[in-house]
Structure 1
Amino acid sequence: MSTAKNVLEMSWDNVVNYLQYISEPKKTIPQNGIKNMKCESELMSHLLTNQQITKCISLWLSKLYDKRELRKEKKNLDTSMFYKSEGNKEFQLKNYNTSLKLYTKSAIYAPSSSIDLPVAVANRSAALFYLERWQDCIKDIELAIKLGYPEKSRGKLYLRIVECYLKLNKKILAARIISELNNSNQYDMTNEQRERLQKMNEIKLQSVNAIDGINDVHRTCNIVNVTESPSQPKLKRLKSGENPNFRSASASIEVKHAPGKGRYVVANRNIKKGETLFVEDAFTFVLVNNNKDNTHCHNCCKSYLDVPVPCTECVDTLFCNMKCWDEACLSYHRWLCLASQMGLLRQIGITHLALKLLCVCATTTNNEKFNDVQQLVTNFNKLTPEDAFSYGITAIMLTFYLSKYTDFFKDINLKECLASKFSNDDFNIKCDLVTEDDKRLYVSSLLFRHILQLVCNGHAITKINVTADDHENKLLIEEQIRIATAIYPSASMMNHSCDPNIINSFLDQTLIVKAIQDIKEGEEILHCYGVDFRRMPKAERQESLESQYYFTCNCKACTMPEYENFMKRFTAIKCPECSGPLLLCDDHDPPMLCSDCGATVFELTYIYKAKQAQVYAKNYFKEAEYYIREGNLEEAVIELKKCLSLRKNILYKYHEDIIITLDLLAKLYISIDQRLPAIYHLEHTIVAIEERYGSCSIELCNELNKITDICITYLQMESNTTSKFYKNILKKTRRYLNNAQQILDIVYGPWHEIYNEIETKMAILFNILQNFNV
């Protein structure tokens, strides 16, 4: 094992492993000891008295702090100037999109003390102007001025903002600024800029009557902010109204409590499929560090696209606007910023959210929401000694960080900002708050609690990511990705089922929960904790739930026989009697049993032939992939058709290999402009995907969206509109689009990423259908 000196160079995970090795958690934290502890502070007091642990943590943090200036990802004037120079080159070449990205990087790396930060933002506003993004241009000009853009040079920015106002048909605002510029000599302007100002005077004169009626003429240093966020459908709140005793929840549901079961959610009346049950804003969240495509605000989770507002001190934190920047600094980022600069936040996983949660709890004025969070389950007494030790020393490390490297303990009065907010003393950690040691014990205990709460109650915020495939960008592929982890106190009251009756979707940081089936009065509302029976076998689900949530699942998907072999169906060979899925009885050797007709197959010859045919089919598939790489798509189609024929002969009709083959064939047919066979093959995948993922799944919706892309293109490009094929595709397209929209209406909403695509295609189809009686 490494020496203590080497430990200082380790990542935090390795430090935890080292401390576990030298401390032996099973000896220092007996299992029965945890079970008998009444609250978190008992364990934390025990760990804080271990000088070997606390000394190692202090030294590690000190080393991390000292190395922050050596990190590659830090504010750096040379890096900022390099990106600015590259941005200028691209701007001169009129490559405005490229220059926009380079100016953004220049702003991200510019030190707060340098003029390069406001200059980079001002340069970016010029690129936005030529890209005709007037609102974003105004936003950047406002930001550049706030960041200290040289006052003498602001004239050109004001001229630019006037032109933006004119483009937006906001002549009164433009005229105000023109008037100010005419009456001021404080700005340096070139002759060309003065000429532009003179021409703009005509606009001022046209609008003077309107201006005369306004008394509160704004100074140019307080430019009116007309930046508008992209239009999006208004989120429909709860149809039945909010339950007064259950925040963010519909009046049609309520929380109950039962011994041994704890709190759970039930319907207090009959609920229809598609009804909204929760609309809840995250109490707080953190973005997923390893998601390189993240373009979301660290404060509100809205997308900032390519024009973020960077933190002036760290390079990892970006916001969508100045309001979010200010809110974050007042709430939590003033204490997290240095941790970002040190590279600490990237090392601590979900405990990053626990640290932010503590900061938000300390600064929130909403005591009711504060208490909703504090009362979330922790499963503290079910922890193994190893987990208790790992989470505990992480809580200590974060406490030491707050105490030594931030002003948290100076800024926050722990009694007023935390202890006094608890409405139930059962959840308040019992600690005196007199000495510094008392305060460290209190904060580390709260952090430890928050870590445990997040392990049990954290929600993944997801979105649909759309990418183009490899075949000349002719087909779009949608995939669901995780962008953040959040805490939703009310929605966390739902218990788990591997076959849930609700589904989650997100609008920025807002969680929308909808029923995906009719739910009877008195029936429990059940959420899936990420281990859906359609995506994970029973044994893996049980293991995952036991290790993270400390319970054995007894839902119908885990106990009823018809669910037992669900996943195996999609890797099964074909039954010789009924063509159903033929499954191995013991996962190793024959006999094999058909789960549809019950036939038992002992014949080794049949099984051997099936396996041989699979090998041949795989070889055909590899040959097709080779031809695709070589650009010989016609030969690839021939090989794939051989592969598909073999697989259909030996495999169950919904086998995943058949679906993969059909999907690739469809893509190839698109690439060689044969849309009818592409549609034919995708029709077969739709049936299989519905069987696998369900009639309300986003997977089915994505597949319907994909096939209608091809259908609409076919209908627009096909000249023979009287053929039976054309009319047949018309009918199918209408049916598929209606099905996709129904899925989105029932389980998501008009804010979903695919919704606009479906509506656009329905409008195109409506115009085509005007000439047909179908």
Structure 2
Amino acid sequence: MNGISCQPLLDRLTFALVKTGVISDLSKRKTELEKIKFCLGVEVTYSDVKINVQEEIQNLLDALYDKCEDHSKSEALAMKAKNQGSKAYLKKKDKEALNCFSESICLAPAESSVLPLALANRSAVLYQMRRYKEALQDMEWAEGACYPAALRHKLLVRRCRCYLSMGDIKKAREVLEACNNHIHLVPLEAKDKYETEVADLKQKIENHVPTSSTITSQENLQQPSLYGGENETVKYITNAFEMKENDKYGRHIVAVEDVMKGSEVFVEKPYAAILLPEHHKTHCHTCFSRLLTSFPCSGCRDAIFCNEECRRASRPWHQYECGILHILSSVGIAHLALRILLITGWKLHCYIREEVVEGKVAGFGEKGVYNGPDLIDRYRAVFHLLPHFNSCLLEDQLQYCLAAILLATAISDKTNFIKENMDENGEKTDLDVPHLASAVMRHIAQLVSNAHAITQLMPSDSGGHSRVEQIKQIRVASAIYPTASMMNHSCKPNIINSFYKDVLVIRTTEDIKPGDQVSNCYGPHYCRQTREERQEALKQQYFFTCKCEPCTQPKYMKSEASWSGFYCENCGGASSWMGNEDPGGCNTENNEGVLLCLQCHRVQRPSAHLVYTCSRVNSLHESGEEAIRKGNLPDAVSLLRNAIQIGSKVYLPENQYFLRVRDTLARALADSGDYENCTLELQECLQFMEQRYGPESIELAHEFLKYSEVLELAAAVNDKLQDELRMVKKRINDIFTLNYGPQWKIYLSTSAVK
């Protein structure tokens, strides 16, 4: 955004209105519209500076509008990127060439002569990379973009070669026939080479010799499907579940029959979703697939898609966002709130807003169906999600108001949304900036408690420092799934979320009996956070006190204590640190905290010996990490072994800091080529990961992936490890498939999944 962003202004305005006391007047306004109109009229003086909220927002937007040209198409920049790609291609720098041609394709205007050339050039790179399916797609797009007839012979030869390489001899013969029919149209200077290439292709087809092996872009995976069929009254959930409502739990989901562990029980497309800005150049803006090749928006350079189908699907919202996406996407979840309204349209919003709900469960339509297939039924389900607006902190309410005003003003200034939503008489009805902003604000408040993070599994970027590949879950988008939002929270859920592109797929992680409530985890999980941390997070964002089993049963709190545990200096039992800072990795001399022994119940300050030992271990650990960064692996191994030897006298084996030290040693051993000793360290980590997270947890699967990478290297020189390697790979597959289904393999290319 060239140094200009929206959030700093929203923060500055919020700070000024809090400091001047104006925010207290906001609480006196009861409705969303009243709050919006109040903010639009605010004018205060803070630190001798006059601040008019509406003028400040308009001034920022005007500055951002001046930057819109930086997000529009450019023939000159497209040509420059294409030429850079051609140079990289000639030097056989395939990845660089691919990126340059993709940039050119995004920059080129729809009618540009550069666009078909860049697409054709990208197909050549893809062919060289053995990505034949993608190469064929680019050639089709190039021809659809008016690729020069004088050059078409190049695409015909490349297309035939792709089919040969894919082993599709029937298609190769069809293209070869087209090649023969095209000979008389080939320019004279290219005819000799062309005839030689066609003759070569004919010979290879007759001999059925593929030119190279095929690399597929994705595996053919089974589409997710609901266990037992779809519920007739609550769409996108299994027929084995139903929605209930009572005063204690509100609307919630309950099982009506036995459901086995691993069953797909929710399969839901989002009502609306937004791709996070950091993924705008790498993922489809409609389905969020990670792209090797992209199909551009015809109007701006910011949005890319898988294909024409995804581009068409984006029209309900992108027709308004095109050219100003960089502004709208800078305000986080508020952008998703606006997109809900762009998809819905103002008239439908007003209809649902005025609809009488009395006598039926909120969100159900006239036919008694929740979140049905029609737009009106789907939006009704979204509109009746609880906003909890008045439970939010006043500072948060103010931020929502300001963000909504900014977005509504941008839509009013730069799009035809208001004009297109006039009534038959040309009247705007109640559609203006305040009314649009108030509707956006309601959806913001709903999304704070109901939005889902769409995630993908990807190999993490280790910066080339480690031979052991690690896997992490990356958030790529935010979305609203109104049926899934009906699940209540538990810190120990009985389901897990995964995603097939933008589709939310929910699987059971344990057997569920009739009458059991189906519970999701809203973020705070009993294996990852302490009870105190979970309770604070849930109260702050969701406004309730959790009373699930891990939040009320002492055995879970005892398990949490070991995460920061030490050997008690009095009895040798497990002693838990009670303080703001974990003494595992810091000096505790000036830290206020105590150790509570779970065996002898003694409470005491850490002794000088413990403080010194923790400090020494921390110092050795940091020095070991620095030695790894510098490539001094023998010193790193020595330092880290020393840290573990010293630390084992005071830390419990499951202490999370101490496990990190052991994991760092494993990394140093792997990088130095000592794979067998590395596996021994990782086995120690695996034992306690399983103890903490469970034998079928995704955290354990990630640790097994890392272990399998090292084990495979060790097994290359020690055949005795082959049986264990096969067992580990099977367990990895079983755990990931249970949690995410077979499509988890799409996102990973590690040897552990082959």
- The alignment's TM-score, normalised by the length of structure 1, stands at 0.81
The answer to whether the aligner puts 1:304 opposite 2:291 as a matched pair is: yes
Q: 1:624 maps to what in 2?
A: 624
Q: Deviations over 1:669-707 (max 9, x none)?
A: 223333222111111100121233333322200111222
Kindly tell me: are residues 440 and 503 of structure 1, through their superposed partners in 2, closer, same or farther at Cα, counting changes over 3 Å? same
Query: What is the percent sequence identity of the aligned residues?
Result: 29
Partner of 1:483: helix, strand, or coil?
A: strand
Q: 1:592 maps to what in 2?
A: 595
Q: 2:671 maps to what in 1?
A: 671
Q: 2:337 maps to what in 1?
A: 354
Partner of 1:234: helix, strand, or coil?
A: coil
Q: Residue type matched to 1:380 in 2?
A: F
Q: Which stretch shows the higher mean deviation, 526-535 or 707-716?
A: 707-716
**Paired residue for 1:749, among 718, 723, 741?**
741
Asked if structure 2 preserves the Cα contact closer than 8 Å seen for 1:459 and 1:487, the reply is yes
Q: 1:374 maps to what in 2?
A: 383
CA RMSD of aligned residues (A): 3.6
Q: Which stretch shows the higher mean deviation, 179-188 or 736-745?
A: 179-188
Give the drift of 1:234: 0.6
Quick one: distance in 2 between partners of 1:204 and 1:669?
54
Kindly tell me: are residues 140 and 659 of structure 1, through their superposed partners in 2, closer, same or farther at Cα, counting changes over 3 Å? same
Quick one: distance in 1 between partners of 2:191 and 2:560?
69
Kindly tell me: are residues 27 and 701 of structure 1, through their superposed partners in 2, closer, same or farther at Cα, counting changes over 3 Å? same
Q: Deviations over 1:519-564 (max 9, x none)?
A: 3322221111112232233343333322322323333333333334
Give the drift of 1:158: 3.6
Asked if structure 2 preserves the Cα contact closer than 8 Å seen for 1:468 and 1:474, the reply is no
Kindly tell me: are residues 555 and 95 of structure 1, through their superposed partners in 2, closer, same or farther at Cα, counting changes over 3 Å? same
Partner of 1:514: helix, strand, or coil?
A: strand
Partner of 1:542: helix, strand, or coil?
A: helix
Q: 1:127 maps to what in 2?
A: 125
The answer to whether the aligner puts 1:736 opposite 2:707 as a matched pair is: no
Asked if structure 2 preserves the Cα contact closer than 8 Å seen for 1:174 and 1:204, the reply is no
Q: Residue type matched to 2:7 in 1?
A: D
Q: 1:461 maps to what in 2?
A: 454
The answer to whether the aligner puts 1:237 opposite 2:225 as a matched pair is: yes
**Paired residue for 1:390, among 364, 380, 399?**
399
Give the drift of 1:475: 1.1
**Paired residue for 2:319, among 318, 334, 357?**
334
Q: Which stretch shows the higher mean deviation, 104-113 or 499-508?
A: 104-113
Q: 1:256 maps to what in 2?
A: 244
The answer to whether the aligner puts 1:280 opposite 2:268 as a matched pair is: yes
Partner of 1:448: helix, strand, or coil?
A: helix
Q: Which stretch shows the higher mean deviation, 743-752 or 174-183?
A: 174-183
The answer to whether the aligner puts 1:313 opposite 2:264 as a matched pair is: no
Asked if structure 1 preserves the Cα contact closer than 8 Å seen for 2:82 and 2:100, the reply is yes
Q: 2:644 maps to what in 1?
A: 644
**Paired residue for 1:407, among 416, 427, 444?**
416
5+ residue gaps, structure 1? 1-8, 209-226, 416-431, 764-774
Give the drift of 1:468: 6.3
Asked if structure 2 preserves the Cα contact closer than 8 Å seen for 1:471 and 1:667, the reply is no
The answer to whether the aligner puts 1:685 opposite 2:671 as a matched pair is: no
**Equivalences, count:** 699
Asked if structure 2 preserves the Cα contact closer than 8 Å seen for 1:242 and 1:248, the reply is yes
Quick one: distance in 2 between partners of 1:472 and 1:385?
46
Asked if structure 1 preserves the Cα contact closer than 8 Å seen for 2:693 and 2:700, the reply is yes
Asked if structure 1 preserves the Cα contact closer than 8 Å seen for 2:157 and 2:198, the reply is no
Quick one: distance in 1 between partners of 2:574 and 2:623?
28
Give the drift of 1:496: 1.4
Q: Deviations over 1:467-489 (max 9, x none)?
A: 46467652111122111111111
Kindly tell me: are residues 348 and 273 of structure 1, through their superposed partners in 2, closer, same or farther at Cα, counting changes over 3 Å? same
Quick one: distance in 2 between partners of 1:237 and 1:261?
28
The answer to whether the aligner puts 1:516 opposite 2:503 as a matched pair is: no
Quick one: distance in 2 between partners of 1:440 and 1:374?
20
Asked if structure 1 preserves the Cα contact closer than 8 Å seen for 2:625 and 2:664, the reply is no
Kindly tell me: are residues 734 and 131 of structure 1, through their superposed partners in 2, closer, same or farther at Cα, counting changes over 3 Å? closer
Give the drift of 1:414: 6.9
Kindly tell me: are residues 106 and 376 of structure 1, through their superposed partners in 2, closer, same or farther at Cα, counting changes over 3 Å? same
Kindly tell me: are residues 102 and 601 of structure 1, through their superposed partners in 2, closer, same or farther at Cα, counting changes over 3 Å? same
Kindly tell me: are residues 697 and 259 of structure 1, through their superposed partners in 2, closer, same or farther at Cα, counting changes over 3 Å? same
The answer to whether the aligner puts 1:14 opposite 2:8 as a matched pair is: yes
Kindly tell me: are residues 734 and 29 of structure 1, through their superposed partners in 2, closer, same or farther at Cα, counting changes over 3 Å? same
Asked if structure 1 preserves the Cα contact closer than 8 Å seen for 2:487 and 2:520, the reply is yes
Partner of 1:506: helix, strand, or coil?
A: strand
Q: 2:363 maps to what in 1?
A: none
Asked if structure 1 preserves the Cα contact closer than 8 Å seen for 2:284 and 2:291, the reply is yes
Partner of 1:540: helix, strand, or coil?
A: helix
Kindly tell me: are residues 392 and 585 of structure 1, through their superposed partners in 2, closer, same or farther at Cα, counting changes over 3 Å? closer
Partner of 2:649: helix, strand, or coil?
A: helix
Quick one: distance in 2 between partners of 1:28 and 1:617?
49
Give the drift of 1:74: 5.0
Quick one: distance in 2 between partners of 1:585 and 1:485?
36
Q: Residue type matched to 1:592 in 2?
A: L
Q: 2:370 maps to what in 1?
A: none
Q: Deviations over 1:228-280 (max 9, x none)?
A: 96333213412222111111111222111112642111222333332322121
Give the drift of 1:285: 1.4
Asked if structure 2 preserves the Cα contact closer than 8 Å seen for 1:577 and 1:599, the reply is no
Quick one: distance in 1 between partners of 2:426 and 2:433?
9
Kindly tell me: are residues 433 and 350 of structure 1, through their superposed partners in 2, closer, same or farther at Cα, counting changes over 3 Å? farther
Q: Residue type matched to 2:275 in 1?
A: L
Kindly tell me: are residues 586 and 560 of structure 1, through their superposed partners in 2, closer, same or farther at Cα, counting changes over 3 Å? farther
Asked if structure 1 preserves the Cα contact closer than 8 Å seen for 2:156 and 2:178, the reply is no
